[in-house]
């Protein structure tokens, strides 16, 4: 049975909008597109690359798919992002969308309306399906328990506005820290969680 991974780059206040570049997603007048770049260091690159070594499929929301499809096919495999470009262009891409978009990136498939059934199919077909960005899709995957692992890369900045990893209205959920947190010299922290059953409990501290 395959695993559904969620990978997100986020600020200390949970903003995950447009980490990669100024024009990536300016929706809502977001003024900090590309906030990840000044904080990126060699160790971050190595750890992110290691996390993708087993990736054999991408599951993306429509907006992230469009961003990736406009970027990755145009990157040279011998360039600075060559390894990721080769991987993303080679593996199957699956898109969750309420519309009927034209998918021109090679080996792209539009999923049907029954997301839970489609996730079951992806688990049978692939060992490690990764969801990157795709914040609207992530809310559904978390709320419906349709994921297995969540890796958060938390960067030492606060932006105060922008789309967040967990938006208002996402279902309360439990997570289990899968391994000790890793930090880079620049202060970025990698947190890897697995999904746990049930909803958060409450009580009185010291009671």
Residue 207: predicted pLDDT: 65
User: pTM of the predicted model, to two decimals?
Assistant: 0.93
Q: What is the pLDDT of residues 148-179, one digit of tens each?
A: 999 999 999 999 999 999 999 899 999 999 99
Residue 174: predicted pLDDT: 94
Q: Which stretches of the chain score pLDDT less than 50?
A: none
Q: What is the pLDDT of residues 11-30, one digit of tens each?
A: 999 999 999 999 999 999 99
Structural fold of domain 3-196? Dihydrofolate Reductase, subunit A (3.40.430)
Annotated domain spans of the chain: 3-196
Separation of alpha carbons 110 and 93, rounded Å: 9
Any idea which residue has 């199919």 for tokens?
121
């Amino acid at each position: 049975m395959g695993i559904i991974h969620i990978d997100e780059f986020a600020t200390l206040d949970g903003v995950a909008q447009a980490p990669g570049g100024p024009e990536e997603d300016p929706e809502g007048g977001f003024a900090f597109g590309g906030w990840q770049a000044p904080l990126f260091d060699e160790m971050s690159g190595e750890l992110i690359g290691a996390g993708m070594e087993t990736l054999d499929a991408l599951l993306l929301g429509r907006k992230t798919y469009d961003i990736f499809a406009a970027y990755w096919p145009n990157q040279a495999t011998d360039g600075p992002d060559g390894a990721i470009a080769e991987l993303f262009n080679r593996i199957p891409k699956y898109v969750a969308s309420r519309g009927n978009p034209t998918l021109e990136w090679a080996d792209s498939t539009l999923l049907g309306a029954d997301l839970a059934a489609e996730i079951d199919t992806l688990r049978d077909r692939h060992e490690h399906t990764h969801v990157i960005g795709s914040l609207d899709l992530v809310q559904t995957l978390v709320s419906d328990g349709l994921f297995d692992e969540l890796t958060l890369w938390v960067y030492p900045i606060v932006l105060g506005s922008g789309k967040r990893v967990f938006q208002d209205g996402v279902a309360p959920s439990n997570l289990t820290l899968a391994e000790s947190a890793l930090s880079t010299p620049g202060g970025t922290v990698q947190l890897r969680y697995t999904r746990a059953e049930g909803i958060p409990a409450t009580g009185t501290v010291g009671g």
